[in-house]
Amino acid sequence: MSILVTGGAGFIGGNFVLDWVEQSDETVINLDKLTYAGNLQTLASIKGSAQHVFVEGDICDRGLVDALLATHKPRAIVHFAAESHVDRSIHGPGEFVRTNVEGTFALLEAARAYWSELKDDEKAAFRFHHVSTDEVYGSLGPQDPPFAETNPYEPNSPYSASKAASDHLVRAWHHTYGLPVTTSNCSNNYGPFHFPEKLIPLIITNALAGKPLPVYGDGQQVRDWLYVKDHCSAIRAILAGGRLGEVYNVGGWNEKPNIEIVKTVCALLDELAPSAEGSYSRLITYVTDRPGHDRRYAIDARKIERELGWRPAETFETGIRKTVAWYLENTEWVRNVQSGAYRDWVAKNYADRAEAK
Ligand code: NAD
Ligand code: TYD
């Protein structure tokens, strides 16, 4: 038995693949294009494992996906591959439409062709799990209840709009063709192997390098943070017991304003890697806000708890401590992903963000 994972050299997909190999006997076929966000060093600990087959390629390449399905006959597809960074989607939305919308379409069509030819029992057991984001629901006011699965879609960024489009395709392939799909919409993840363009790893790596810690706008935007291993366990639970055609919201019950996240990371670094120049919080710098910046995300994760018994294992306090410790112990991984292309991105994204007084 095997499963096909897309985007398994990225942050969440990589953690999912590592956990899968550790916890299951099944082989995982890992299709990843190795964009700037994909990194084989994340998978170094399973290099050579017979349970992991890495294939460098594009989900938009229908011939390649057809061939992988025909060769490996997976019982499920878990679809992580995406362009995932909101700031990059503002600078260049085209790649987001290509991978997130056209790529999901190509994958769904390949899955449908493969699935429709399976024997009845295999057909009934097959699953296509689509990994999506809470950002499709838009932005909450301070007193609004958290996002439920029934919230209307109101995406505000090119990233969230492209993910919303992909969610709609997945839904339609179930309703129209009967493809056995499930979807999860998850809140902000953090943890090991997180690319340092996103808030938490950026703050850790900038602080250790003595660089400014850029906080967009007033720093009061709220996100609901989930430790990445908890997201992986939620996906495994949905794959095992999720109802077909259903959407499950996944979150950490952990809403925090960005500035609090940044101060917590600084305090942990002060404890674990103190700087001779004083607290890392001295580096906090308010900068020009992100255009169209969503104010608040929060997840109502009661459905997945009620139906599948899933709850996060980590609190924010335990998860963020593990995360900071991981970055302190894995400086080589960080150094390797901070290539020339990474430095070019940092220069582009932060060049026009004048320090706010
Ligand atoms: P990531 O950017 O770290 O990794 C994406 C991976 O997909 C990379 O390995 C990249 O090489 C690969 N990829 C990109 N385009 C591809 C293509 N055309 N074909 C094949 N592979 C391709 O992203 P992530 O943070 O791990 O997110 C994974 C999924 O989870 C995404 O679908 C994202 O929308 C969703 N999600 C992320 C978060 C979060 O906080 N990071 C929260 C909720 C949902
Ligand atoms: P990010 O990690 O990019 O995730 P998302 O935009 O998908 O929520 O950003 C998390 C929050 O942190 C978001 O409100 C934007 C903010 N942020 C900063 O304040 N400074 C930064 O340098 C970055 C990258 C993000």
Structure tokens at 295: 């104010």
CA angle 331, 336, 337 (to 5 degrees): 100
Check if the beta carbon of residue 60 is closer than 8 Å to that of residue 98.
yes
End-to-end CA distance of the chain: 58
Ligand with smallest separation from the Cα of 226: 1
pLDDT in tens, 71-81: 999 999 999 99
Is the confidence at residue 293, as pLDDT, over 80? yes
- Backbone phi, psi, residue 131, to 5°: -95, 115
pLDDT of residue 109: 98
pLDDT of residue 340: 76
Fold designation for 2-190+226-253+293-313? Rossmann fold (3.40.50)
Mutate which of 15, 16, 31, 35 for ligand 1 pocket (most atoms within 8 A of beta carbon): 35
Mutate which of 4, 5, 6, 12 for ligand 1 pocket (most atoms within 8 A of beta carbon): 12
pLDDT of residue 25: 96
Among 32, 58, 83, 134, the one annotated catalytic: 134
pLDDT in tens, 26-74: 999 999 999 999 999 999 999 999 999 999 999 999 999 999 999 999 9
How remote is the CA of residue 99 from the centroid of ligand 1, in Å?
A: 10
Over pLDDT 70: what percentage of the chain? 99
- Backbone phi, psi, residue 252, to 5°: -100, 5
- Going by pLDDT thresholds of 50, 70 and 90, the confidence category of residue 355 is confident
How far, in Å, are 18, 23, 52, 329 from residue 44 at the CA level? Answer: 10, 17, 11, 15
Among 32, 58, 83, 135, the one annotated catalytic: 135
Tell whether pTM > 0.95: yes
Ligand with smallest separation from the Cα of 219: 2
- DSSP element (H, E) containing 76: strand 76-79
